[in-house]
Amino acid sequence: MLAQKKDYFFKNPFYPEKGGIIQKPVIAYEEYGNPKGETVLITHGGLQNQHAAGKYSEKEVLAGTWDDLIGDRKAIDTLKYRVIAVNSPGSMFGSSGPLSINPDTGKNYGPDFPTLTMADMARFFKQFLDETGVQKLSLMAGPSMGSLQTLLFAALYPGFAEKIMAVATSGRMTPGGIAFHRFMKEIIQNDPEFNNGWYQTDKPLYSLKVIHEIARIYYTHETGIKKYFWDTVPEGQNAQFERMDKIRNYLVSGIDEYLTGRDPNSYIRLTDAIDSYSLGYHAESYEKGVERIQCPVLLVNISSDSEFPPYWAYEVADILNKKNPGQAVVRIIESDWGHIGCIKETKKIAEHLKNWM
């Protein structure tokens, strides 16, 4: 399946709740499947993009992050559904964000781009759907940040999505995640080359390289590092040096290419939005906020995920099922991959989704 990048230019401005205005909002997205079918909305992880399925050309080796889920006769069947994969506002991959042109200056917004909340992201998606005539979603789903967007969207717009799936998820941003994001922002903001957000764009900031090395440790469980980069070295006199090399290569390989075009201001805006996330947003209590979700919910967490351990999914399910027994289903995938299991264990996710659907 070939994918194509698309842009939609909003008819109306967008007003973030913390202030400011996005005068000419744009959302980048991809669309797959049956244009006359019921609509499925796919969101993405925080530092990923909207490329959820297919390839941009036959020559490409890798397909979109959820290609095992989306396609003809797959769990999200493109013969049946119209699938829209959206890019989040604040991102660096085409939607309105710090790299966008500020009409007032004719230059990139940079650090002047408005602060966003997770609720802003849900409202941004809703404005896009409203303006393009989508009146209902058959399914909304996403991993990591996308799972948080999905759950909050369902809470803020009860009934708009008939079903939702949240992968690597929680009902509120976890303490470990908030702490790690604080560290990320400190590293960026104290990098002299960041220059208060007005950095030179011709090379990746050293702070981003450091962040991504540490992220590969944080988002991959130690058992995964051992399995894939330690146990593969036979015992011998030089075994420990070979293990050191393999683990180092895992941490640094491809980082310069990966960071090409990545914007540190977007890292700050995205992590701020993620850290603001709670299903208790504008509700009488956290529990009442969770209970606003009316549709069936599939929560899929990864056994070794240190950012969203399985008990966070059970917290949401317990609240929903106490009020409406059977509304929420939790599935835990046994994996050594840690948090990145949400994009590594896609065959298992697809199996759970297909069975649940």
For residue 257, what pLDDT is reported?
A: 87
Match 């609240």 to its residue by tokens. 319
Q: Which helix (H) or strand (E) holds 179?
A: helix 175-189
Give the alpha-carbon dihedral of 203, 47, 24, 119, to 10 degrees: -150
Q: Which residue among the candidates 88, 91, 144, 335 is catalytic per the annotation?
A: 144
> What residues have CB less than 8 Å from 202, skipping those under 6 apart?
none
Is position 256 annotated as part of the catalytic site? no
At 24, is the secondary structure helix, strand, or coil?
coil
Is position 282 annotated as part of the catalytic site? no
Q: Give strand ranges (E) for 137-186.
A: 139-143, 164-167
Contact 134, 39 (CB under 8 A): yes
For residue 261, what pLDDT is reported?
A: 86
Q: Can you give the residue ranges of every domain in the chain?
A: 6-173+277-356
Give the alpha-carbon dihedral of 349, 78, 46, 141, to 10 degrees: -60
What number does CATH give the domain 6-173+277-356?
Answer: 3.40.50.1820
Q: What is the pLDDT of residues 77-91, one digit of tens each?
A: 999 999 999 999 999
Q: Calculate mean pLDDT across residues 218-226.
A: 91
Strand partners, 140: 41, 164
For residue 59, what pLDDT is reported?
A: 85
Whole-angstrom distance, CA of residue 35 vs CA of residue 249: 43
The secondary structure of residue 92, as a DSSP letter, is S
Lowest mean pLDDT among 29-33, 216-220, 274-278: 216-220
Instruction: Report whether pLDDT(50) > 90.
Output: yes
Would you place residue 310 in the very low, low, confident or very high pLDDT band (cuts 50, 70, 90)? very high
Q: Give me the percent of the chain exceeding a pLDDT of 70.
A: 100
Q: Calculate mean pLDDT across residues 2-19.
A: 95
Whole-angstrom distance, CA of residue 291 vs CA of residue 155: 8
Token duo for residue 199: 């950095």
Contact 303, 333 (CB under 8 A): yes
Token duo for residue 235: 């015992």
Q: Which residue among the candidates 68, 77, 305, 336 is catalytic per the annotation?
A: 305
pTM: 0.95
Reference 152, options 297, 321, 293, 328; nearest CA is: 293
User: End-to-end distance of the chain based on CA atoms, in angstroms?
Assistant: 22
Instruction: Report whether pLDDT(38) > 90.
Output: yes
Instruction: Report whether pLDDT(326) > 90.
Output: yes
Token duo for residue 86: 């959206």
For residue 2, what pLDDT is reported?
A: 86
Would you place residue 148 in the very low, low, confident or very high pLDDT band (cuts 50, 70, 90)? very high
Would you place residue 202 in the very low, low, confident or very high pLDDT band (cuts 50, 70, 90)? confident
Strand partners, 107: 102
Q: What is the pLDDT of residues 102-122, one digit of tens each?
A: 999 999 999 999 999 999 999
Match 């040096």 to its residue by tokens. 241
Q: What average pLDDT does the chain have?
A: 96
Q: Which residue among the candidates 181, 212, 221, 339 is catalytic per the annotation?
A: 339
> What residues have CB less than 8 Å from 343, skipping those under 6 apart?
45, 48, 65, 66, 143
Whole-angstrom distance, CA of residue 97 vs CA of residue 110: 8
Would you place residue 203 in the very low, low, confident or very high pLDDT band (cuts 50, 70, 90)? confident
For residue 328, what pLDDT is reported?
A: 98
Instruction: Report whether pLDDT(204) > 90.
Output: no
Inter-axis angle of helices 145-156 and 264-275, nearest 10: 50
Q: Go through the chain and tell me how many residues it has.
A: 357
Residue 120 Cα to chain centre, angstroms: 15
Whole-angstrom distance, CA of residue 164 vs CA of residue 25: 26
Inter-axis angle of helices 118-131 and 264-275, nearest 10: 100
Reference 266, options 100, 121, 92; nearest CA is: 92
Lowest mean pLDDT among 42-46, 72-76, 226-230, 278-282: 226-230
Q: Which helix (H) or strand (E) holds 223?
A: helix 222-229
Is position 278 annotated as part of the catalytic site? no
